[in-house]
Amino acid sequence: MGKIHYISDEPLSLEDIQEIINNNYSLALSPSAEKKIIKCREYLDHKIASSSEPVYGINTGFGSLYNKNIPKEDLSILQENLVKSHACGTGDEVQQEIVKLMLLLKVQSLAYGHSGVQLTTVNRLIDYFNHGVYPVVYEMGSLGASGDLAPLAHLSLPLIGLGEVYYKGERLSGKALNQKLGFEPIKFKAKEGLALLNGTQLMSAFGIWSLINAERLFDLANIIGAISLDAFDGRIEPFDAKVHQIRPQKGQILVAQKFRELLEGSEIITQAKKHVQDPYSFRCIPQVHGASADAIFYVRDIFLTEINGVTDNPNVFPDEDQIISAGNFHGQPLALPLDFLSMALAELGSISERRTFQLISGSRDLPNYLVANPGINSGLMIPQYTAASLASQNKQYCTPSSVDSIVSSNGQEDHVSMGANAATKTFKVVNNLYRILGVELITAAQAIEFRRPLKTSGYLEDLLSNFREEVPFIEDDRVLYEDMAKAEKFLKNVIL
């Protein structure tokens, strides 16, 4: 039997999520979570049967149609119509690894017992996760306001036998999936469609994926930056602990310490230097990388709070006999940090590209473009162009989404977060940063060969040796896009 993660009140951490995803855990509800879901649903059913008082989204219309009362006999079809009518996504399909995270995070949110869903509905979402069923969801269509309405509608369509999914590499209709797996379509009860569609799980899934990769990219930026520093014959003094103790920014201190550790034992860093000062892209690494680290730490705190909370509407409180229509679905708490994360990662790419530029510039006794015979060979001239293009595109992606708002739903939803746009942009910044750092690693690895027979530190030499198995030293010009693709793959998979 495989490993099982039991959904409960225990908060999910980034490490938990990586363990669940990377090691193919199955999901199951803990007994306490089952009890809360059942209790909330029973309370809601009793409330609907015993009262005709209008409660938003349960026996009323949605959005600006909140003042339309719905007869009890139509409450189920109301929820089904909601899911069908809101599935208006467009653009690129959301990657299956993000959809898998959406399923996990949606189950976690519903399991707190404040959403009023049926136990069978939550268990069907768990079935999707466990069987590798990934509904077809589209990137565009969410304002990040009443949650991620359109994307979550696509996530929910297969529950009622509609929409499309990927299952074992095959694209199937929701109906065909039910037939293949022997599932009966879910018959929604009052509020269920709203509970499924209201929520921040698209923004959260993209954000969690980006954070997991951001922490890896931060480590990679430091490691590759350390190789570049040695390859450029840079100075270690700007990384001295005393410098950073008198400006005690946490990220800055962390980065300086990391560089001292990475370069411990390097023959290059300790040799006498001809120059008294390095360019900012080397000398100010602790300040620049450190600022990005501080941003990543902040965003991490926000997202861990978000994924361990309830983000649908209205919120049901059985013990207090209350159903409260409020705004926990609003994406503003995520939109601002997502924009911030994009900027932090783009800056890691911006300073990386500058180090690449310095290494190929013919400075510090290095040959132009890092080839022994420049002229007949262009060497690493053009990979820097590519890095510059990617760094520039990342800057454009960093135009903040969170400062925008477009009125929707006839004025009822008059301020929206645009957090979903911030989330999809951050995803693109992350992928571009892998490519930028890949170019720097190719460049730094090439440059350090011109420092031989001196060696860098043991850790960095080991990493370079592993990298050379994928991307050999460049003697003469060759097709470099293949090297760049191999470098990107190496960075995504190397054990740090």
Tell me if residue 329 is catalytic.
yes
Tell me if residue 56 is catalytic.
yes
Domain boundaries, the chain: 4-199, 206-493
Instruction: List the one residue out of 381, 424, 488, 374 whose CA is nearest residue 89.
Output: 424
- Chosen CATH of 206-493 out of 3.40.50.280, 1.20.200.10, 1.10.3720.10, 3.40.50.20: 1.20.200.10
Residues in the chain: 496
Residue 91's SS3 state is strand
* CATH number for the domain whose boundaries are 4-199: 1.10.275.10
Both tokens assigned to 392: 């520039």
Catalytic-role residue among 59, 178, 198, 328? 198
Q: How many CA atoms, within 13 angstroms, populate the side-chain half-sphere of residue 446? A: 30
Start-to-end C-alpha separation, the chain: 30
Decide if 380 contacts 446 (C-beta within 8 A): yes
Q: DSSP secondary structure string, 263-300?
A: TTT-TTTTS--S-S---HHHHTHHHHHHHHHHHHHHHH
Catalytic-role residue among 25, 56, 134, 282? 56
- d(Cα 73, Cα 51) in Å, to the nearest integer? 14
Do the strands 170-173 and 164-167 form a parallel or antiparallel pair, or are they unpaired? antiparallel
Tell me if residue 280 is catalytic.
yes
pLDDT in tens, 366-406: 999 999 888 889 999 999 999 999 999 999 999 999 999 99
Catalytic-role residue among 112, 167, 183, 329? 329
Task: Quote the pLDDT of residue 1.
Answer: 59
Catalytic-role residue among 283, 449, 459, 470? 283
Residue type, 438: G
Catalytic-role residue among 97, 280, 468, 475? 280
Q: DSSP secondary structure string, 326-352?
A: --TT--HHHHHHHHHHHHHHHHHHHHH
Task: Quote the pLDDT of residue 122.
Answer: 98
Q: DSSP secondary structure string, 185-230?
A: PP---TTHHHHHHSS-HHHHHHHHHHHHHHHHHHHHHHHHHHHHHH
Distances (CA, A) of 330 to 144, 146, 203, 298, 410: 6, 6, 11, 19, 17
Exposure class string for 479-489: b at 16+ Cβ within 10 A, else e: ebeebbebbbe
- d(Cα 106, Cα 115) in Å, to the nearest integer? 11
Tell me if residue 66 is catalytic.
no
Task: Quote the pLDDT of residue 63.
Answer: 64
Q: What is the torsional sign of CA 274, 269, 486, 392? A: negative
Task: Quote the pLDDT of residue 58.
Answer: 77
For the chain, which ranges sit under pLDDT 50?
none
Helix (H) or strand (E) holding 154: helix 149-156
> What DSSP state is assigned to residue 238?
G
Distances (CA, A) of 149 to 83, 118, 139, 439: 9, 20, 12, 39
What are the beta bridge partners of residue 7?
A: 29
Catalytic-role residue among 80, 192, 353, 413? 413
Q: E strands, 4-131, where? A: 4-7, 26-29, 90-93
Decide if 32 contacts 8 (C-beta within 8 A): yes
Q: CA-based Rg of the chain, rounded to a whole angstrom?
A: 26
Task: Quote the pLDDT of residue 29.
Answer: 98
